[in-house]
Amino acid sequence: MESNTNTPSPLQVQGIHRGKDVAVLMGGPGPESEISRWSGQAVADALRERGYAARTVEVDQNLDQVLRNNRPDVAVIALHGVGGEDGTVQGLLEYLGIPYTGSNVLSSALAMDKVKSKELFRLYNIPTLPYYTVESEQMAQLERVHGTFGFPVFVKPAGGGSSLGSGKADTVSELQARCEEALQYDTTVLVERYVEGKEINVGVVRGEAIGAIEIEPQREFYDYVAKYGEDQSTYHFPARVAPTRYQGLLRLAERANLALGATGITRVDMLVTAGENEYVLELNTIPGFTAKSLIPKMGISFLDLCEIMVDDARLHALSPQRLGMSDKRRGQGLLPPSDRGAHNTDMGGSKGSAESQGHGPTGSSTGGARAQQGGGSPGSTRSAQVQTIRTQNAQPAAHP
Residues annotated as part of the active site: 32, 162, 228, 267, 269, 282, 284, 288
* Paired residues of 153 in beta bridges: 169, 193
199 binds ligand ADP (CB under 6 A): yes
Of positions 222, 246, 289, 302, contacts ligand ADP by CB under 6 A:
222
Smaller CB separation from Mg ion, 32 or 269? 269
Of positions 269, 312, 327, 355, contacts Mg ion by CB under 5 A:
269
- Cβ atoms of 178 and 24 closer than 8 Å: no
CB 56 → ligand ADP: shortest distance, Å? 24
- Taking residues 45 to 84 in sequence order and writing x for each that binds ligand ADP by CB under 6 A, - otherwise, the string is ----------------------------------------
Q: Indicate which of ligand ADP, Mg ion, none lies near residue 129 (CB less than 5 to 8 Å, by partner kind).
A: ligand ADP
Binding segment for Mg ion (CB under 5 A), chosen from 5-13, 39-47, 113-121, 264-272, is: 264-272
Can the peptide bond before residue 400 be classed as cis, meaning omega within 30 degrees of 0? no
Binding segment for ligand ADP (CB under 6 A), chosen from 32-40, 189-197, 257-265, 346-354, is: 189-197
Binding segment for ligand ADP (CB under 6 A), chosen from 19-27, 155-163, 318-326, 343-351, is: 155-163
Pairing of strands 233-236, 208-217: antiparallel
Q: Indicate which of Mg ion, ligand ADP, none lies near residue 86 (CB less than 5 to 8 Å, by partner kind).
A: none
Per CB under 6 A, contacts with ligand ADP among 265-284 are 269, 271, 281-282
- Cβ atoms of 399 and 338 closer than 8 Å: no
The CA-atom distances, in angstroms, between 153 and each of 113, 122, 146, 156, 225 are 19, 20, 10, 10, 21
Per CB under 6 A, contacts with ligand ADP among 301-340 are none
85 binds Mg ion (CB under 5 A): no
Cα separation, 344 vs 380, in Å, equals: 16
195 binds ligand ADP (CB under 6 A): yes
CB 115 → Mg ion: shortest distance, Å? 15
47: Cβ contacts below 8 Å, ≥ 6 apart? 22, 24, 54, 76, 306, 307, 310
Q: Indicate which of Mg ion, ligand ADP, none lies near residue 166 (CB less than 5 to 8 Å, by partner kind).
A: ligand ADP
Can the peptide bond before residue 157 be classed as cis, meaning omega within 30 degrees of 0? no
Phi, psi of 56 (to 5 degrees): -90, 145
Distance of CA 373 to the CA centre of its chain: 27
Terminal CA-CA length for the chain: 20
- Cβ atoms of 164 and 157 closer than 8 Å: yes
Binding segment for ligand ADP (CB under 6 A), chosen from 33-41, 153-161, 204-212, 344-352, is: 153-161
Cα separation, 135 vs 155, in Å, equals: 12
Cα separation, 74 vs 274, in Å, equals: 44
Of positions 32, 94, 186, 192, contacts ligand ADP by CB under 6 A:
192
Cα separation, 259 vs 221, in Å, equals: 27
Of positions 56, 101, 107, 166, contacts ligand ADP by CB under 6 A:
166
Smaller CB separation from ligand ADP, 73 or 223? 223
Which positions touch ligand ADP (CB under 6 A)? 129, 154, 156, 160-163, 166, 192-195, 199, 221-222, 269, 271, 281-282
Residues near Mg ion (CB under 5 A) are: 269
